Structure formats: structure tokens, C-alpha cells
Structure 1
Amino acid sequence: MSVPTEYFERLFRANPDPWAFRSRWYEKRKRELTLATLQHQRYERIFEPACANGELSVALAKRSESLICMDTSFAAVELAREHLKEQTGVEVVHGQLPRDWPEGDFDLIVLSEVGYYLTPHEWQQVIEKAKGSLTPEGSILACHWLPPITDCPQDGRLVHDLLERHLSLHRSVRHEEQDFLLELWCRHLHTIDLEEEAL
């Protein structure tokens, strides 16, 4: 990861919610849009790197049988574990992309607000790992802030341009606003499952 781990460690040690995920309407609304983009009610196995304090993770846990959350900050991992302690089927681990990608396959990978902290080369490695661990019916959700971020090697636009160039998947959802871009990429285009809808 291009941005030093110590940067995130200091952030979370100083403030358990440094980006105000819990209080800002922008973050709450973006989280609801992210969840509404998912095309299945439940997923077997989800991977969410850069989980931060676990605010989105709680909602993902409620829609999955198994969820692996990861963050490069030990402080964030502690906060996420506490936040998720009442959820079942959840594992919160310390690790860094692209090096510490978990074993196994996932039917949903959530890449939210993480790509611009990596160099283009590192991000392409993440893209390859994501493709390689996606189930035949799997999806990759990506959401990133678009304005430039000081001291980050990429911006959100470049992050998503690289996804489009290297994923070789179907883009089933694209939602862009002034501040962020949200996309869902799938191995296969989703059709409505009436049995699933009835659950």
C-alpha cells in the first residue's frame, strides 16, 4: 500500500470514526445506495477490504452467510471487531492489499474507498486477485470519492478507469454523482429470480 499504515493508525487512534461514517448524511446515504446496488438479498461469502471501523460491514454481515473484513490499521480492526461482535459468520483480520488477499472464493467483493491509496500497479494486482477469487456468479462492487485526495497516488476516476480496463466483467450498475462513483461488475448479467424475490 502506497499510503503508510501509520497514517491510518494515527487516524483511528485519534478518532474512532475519522470520516464520520456514523453521523454524516453523505456517508449514510452513500452506504444505503451501496447496499441498494447489490442485486441479491443474501450472499454466501463476502470480502470487504479496508473495512475501517466496520460501519458498512454490519449491513454486509446481515446479508451474508460469511463475511471477511480486513483493514491495514490495528486500531480499525479492533473497532470493527467491537462493532461486529453481535453478528454471526464474521471474521475481522489485519492485512494489507494486495499482499494479504484471503484464500478461497467470494460471491461478492466490496472495494469501497480503497483504490486511491494504492499505486496503479498495486491496484491492478488487486483487480487480478479479485477476478481470480470470484465465483462463477460473483460480483465486484466498487465505490470511490472522485475529487483528488492529497498525497494519494490515484484519484477515484483513475481507480474506476483501471477497473473498466482490466476486470473484463459485465458492468450492471453505474451511478455517478459529483463526489463519488459507484459501480457493480458481474460475471453474468443478473436476471430476477422469482423464488429469491419471494423470500
Structure 2
Amino acid sequence: MTDATNTSVTDDYFDQLFHNSDDPWAFKQRWYERRKRALTLAALPRERYARIFEPGCANGELSAELATRCDRFVGCDTCALAVELARERLADFPRAEVLQARLPQQWPAGRFDLIVFSELGYYLSLEDLHRWIDRALASLTDDGQLLACHWRTPIEGCPLTADQVHEVLQQRLGMHRQSYHESDFLLDVWAWEQGSVAQKEGLR
């Protein structure tokens, strides 16, 4: 892994991954990935959202699950092949759209009550991560939430680690945090509002 934190991973990296495989991280096959996806969905404090944004949606495996939990879903990826695959995966969801965009420079219009930041942060430079957080904060609704999930093992060529990404998020967001951490990954949800799921349903 490089110590440099001033250069985000380039588009060519992702283009090559998807050129070689339509599922480069084995989202469909690995129990690790399927279990992590289930934990991610279970960690969401609300059963349903108005509008969800998933940057770096890859081939749309998590996107298809998120689309069942919202009225409108927006995904994006920098890789054209990934966008094509995600659109195919979401073909049964008429209120879902997938954009080709490079973040944080190109950000979708509108506001979101959930942003899912999954396995993306460590590909960003520290400067781009801060810019990404600026854009996220500006586009979250007043009761919005942000979920972040990242693999903890350092990845060769990535400017940041999962722990660094989540530390910066904690410092910058200024929101209430709920955490589920394992040796393999970090899973955090930040929300403006306080109170547990049980409290909101009058159980406490």
C-alpha cells in the first residue's frame, strides 16, 4: 500500500477490473459479501426511505436490495461497464436510475435521506474524501442518514484505509453514530436524529 494520500485511484483501474469480470469482487458468489450485504441492510435504522443515493454502485448487487427500501433510488459509478451492469440489475425497478459520474466532482441533483458509502472511501485521496463529505452533507435532508461500510485490510494502491476513512467521517459529519465493527470491516451509520429503533416504535 502506498503512503500517498493526495491522488485518488484513476478510472482506468476500475475499467480494467470490469473489463476482466462482470463481478470483480465476487459480490454474488462469496458468503462474506452476501453476509455483509445483509448486515448493511439490517443496520439501516428505518424500514423505508424516500430517496437513496449509492455512489460507487459497481454492478448493482447492493443497489437492488436498497431499491426495495425506498421510493426513489439513484446509483452512480465511474465505470461505463459497471453502469451498464447495474442498470440491467435494476431493470425491474422503474424508480431506480444509475448514472455514470466521477465523484466528488460530478454529484447528482436533489437531496437524499440516505447515502450509502460502501467500499469506496479508500479509493479517494484525503482531499477528495473531504470534498466528498462536503457534497454529501450539502445533499442530505434535515433528517438524513449516511451509512459507511469498508473492508479493513489495506488495499495495494489505495491512498487510505477503512479506519482512516471512518475516522475522517466521524470528525467531519457531526452526527450521531451507531457502529458495528468486525476484524474484516467497519460498518457505521450516522444520523442527525437521536434515539434507537425500539424507542421510535415506543418500546422503551
Smaller-chain TM-score range?
A: over 0.9
Residue 74 of structure 1 corresponds to 80
> Relative contact order, CA 8 A, sep 6+: which one is greater?
2
What amino acid does structure 1 have at the position aligned with 2:53? F
What amino acid does structure 2 have at the position aligned with 1:160? H
TM-score (norm 2): 0.92
Q: Does 1:6 align with 2:18?
A: no
Segments of structure 2 that go 5 or more residues without pairing to the other structure are 1-6
Residue 4 of structure 2 corresponds to none
Residue 127 of structure 1 corresponds to 133
Encode CA deviations 1:55-94: one digit per residue, 9 max, x unaligned.
0000000001001000010000000000110112101000
Question: Percent same amino acid among aligned pairs?
Answer: 49
Encode CA deviations 1:162-193: one digit per residue, 9 max, x unaligned.
0011111111x201111100000001114544
Deviation at 1:35, TM superposition (A): 0.1
Aligned length: 195
Query: Which runs of structure 1 show a deviation greater than 3 angstroms over 4 or more consecutive aligned residues?
Result: 190-195
- Contact 1:142–1:182, Cα closer than 8 Å, also in 2: yes
Return the alpha-carbon distance in structure 1 between the equivalents of residues 61 and 85 of structure 2. Answer: 10
What amino acid does structure 2 have at the position aligned with 1:132? A
Return the alpha-carbon distance in structure 2 between the equivalents of residues 160 and 51 of structure 1. Answer: 19
- Contact 1:105–1:135, Cα closer than 8 Å, also in 2: yes
Compute the RMSD of aligned alpha carbons: 1.4
TM-score (norm 1): 0.95
- Contact 1:39–1:190, Cα closer than 8 Å, also in 2: no
Please list, as runs of the form range in 1=range in 2, the aligned pairs for 1:50-129 lying within 5 A after superposition: 50-129=56-135
Return the alpha-carbon distance in structure 2 between the equivalents of residues 139 and 102 of structure 1. Answer: 17
- Contact 1:55–1:83, Cα closer than 8 Å, also in 2: yes
1:44 is matched with which residue: 20, 44, 50? 50
SS at 1:87 equivalent: coil
Residue 190 of structure 2 corresponds to 185
